[in-house]
A and B are shown apart, each in its own frame.
Chain A
Amino acid sequence: MTLTIHDLRKESGSYLPGSAACPGCGATLAFRIASRVLGPNTVYVVPASCFSVIQSPFPKSAISAPLYNIAFPAAAATASGVYRAYKMLGRDVNVVVWAGDGGTVDIGIQALSGAAERGENIIYVCYDNEAYMNTGIQRSGATPFRAWTKTTPTGKREMPKDMPMIVAAHRVPYVATASVGYPFDLANKFEKAKKIKGFRYIHIFSTCPPGWNSPVSKTAEVAKLAVDTYFWPLYEIENGKLRITVKPRKRPLKEFLELQDRFRGLSDEEIEELEKIVMEKWNFLLHLEKSERVF
């Protein structure tokens, strides 16, 4: 069953208006939709991230669900403990880690890998804004090739980590990528993940207008173009079988890059090079889709 807008409108979310998030924040948009699908029987664990300014200012929090703030590297380990504590009490709850890309691909990867290997019954969500935005736009392991950040003023020279594939290599039951530009796809992936037991991982491409220097009103547009230009392919790996969930609408990569100042000043050769990398990844995914088991 696929979720529609009417199903989503019936549910109540865990996000309250008036948070300290920047205007046009992709992470709050993702959280609003995810919390509606996950429902009230959910506990969140949030490591240090942009999201901390939303749920942790004292004495008021903008999240109406039980939530645990924890240090950067400990999110997955804490969530494992939270799940087990509830299990001891005889209660079955969704334990969800809501982490940024720094807390996932750089600092939190050790605890994440451990929890995935142990097969903890948690959902790990990474909302990926592709740099350390909360501390002032420093590059992270998820920052794309050639992107500007304050610590890569001439564009990043290294390739980002392919985190969904790293987690999938742990042979966990469910791994998916999502984008805030495709909210129904995102909602359906959470719906699916909710029903599966074991370690589940969802990686959300989440626009950051101040960090990417994109127009504030184009949050959804940028995330949509990321998918349509093959920059951020949407797929899921369920029990090892890969399936591409959204077919891109074949737009030129330039349209996506032009909307964001972090890619300003790229020469035509550099854009061509990026295009080649993006298409290589897409063709690789098409190839994987044909195989019986990816990992």
Chain B
Amino acid sequence: MGLGVPIIIPVSKPSKGAAGKTGLWRVEKPVVDEDKCIKCWLCWLYCPEDVITEGPNGFPQIDYTFCKGCGVCADVCPTKAIQMIKEEE
């Protein structure tokens, strides 16, 4: 309409990392011990952030870009194959 003002339609587009790289929030990092893992996928089921996927070797793989380090996966793991390790400075 010749006003020279850009018109923004308030529609959000789906995208990973809507709140940025949420992995930066993490204090402790979950690490999978593949010797103990029995591939029950309970960690995948209970992960609130949907960051656990099947890795190339068939074991759970955690996307550390977005993992917030809540530790629910380590808590539900029946064989204690996931350890929470302090993030280094």
Contacts and interface: CB of A to CB of B under 8 A. Distances in A.
Interface of A: 5, 8-9, 13, 15-21, 23-26, 28-29, 32-33, 54-64, 183, 209, 216-221
Contacts of A13: 50
B76 A19 contact: no
A42 to B, nearest CB: 14
A13 B63 CA distance: 17
Contact of A29 (B46, B68, B71): B46
B59 interface: no
Contacts of B47: 29, 32
A24 B25 CA distance: 12
For chain B, give the interface size range: 35 or more
Contact of A60 (B15, B22, B44, B71): B15
Secondary structure at the B interface, as helix, strand, loop or mixed, is loop
Nearest to A21: B48
Interface string B1-35: 00000000010111111111110010000000000
Contacts of A63: 14
B49 A55 contact: no
Contact of A56 (B12, B45, B75): B12
Contact of B45 (A5, A25, A54, A64): A5
Contacts of B75: 217-218, 220-221
A63 B22 CA distance: 16
Nearest to A9: B41
Contact of A19 (B21, B22, B44): B22
Contacts of A5: 40-42, 45
A64 B20 contact: no
Which interface residue of A13, A17, A55 has the most chain B CB atoms within 10 A? A17
Nearest to A61: B12
Given A9-B41, A25-B48, A62-B18, A17 B12 contact: no
A16 B18 contact: yes
Given A8-B45, A60-B13, A54 B72 contact: no
Interface string B47-85: 111110000000000010111111110111000000010
B18 A32 contact: no
B63 A19 contact: no
B43 to A, nearest CB: 10
B74 to A, nearest CB: 7
A18 B22 contact: yes
B41 A28 contact: no
A64 B48 contact: no
A16 B50 contact: yes
Contacts of B84: 217
B12 A32 contact: no
Contacts of B17: 16-18, 60
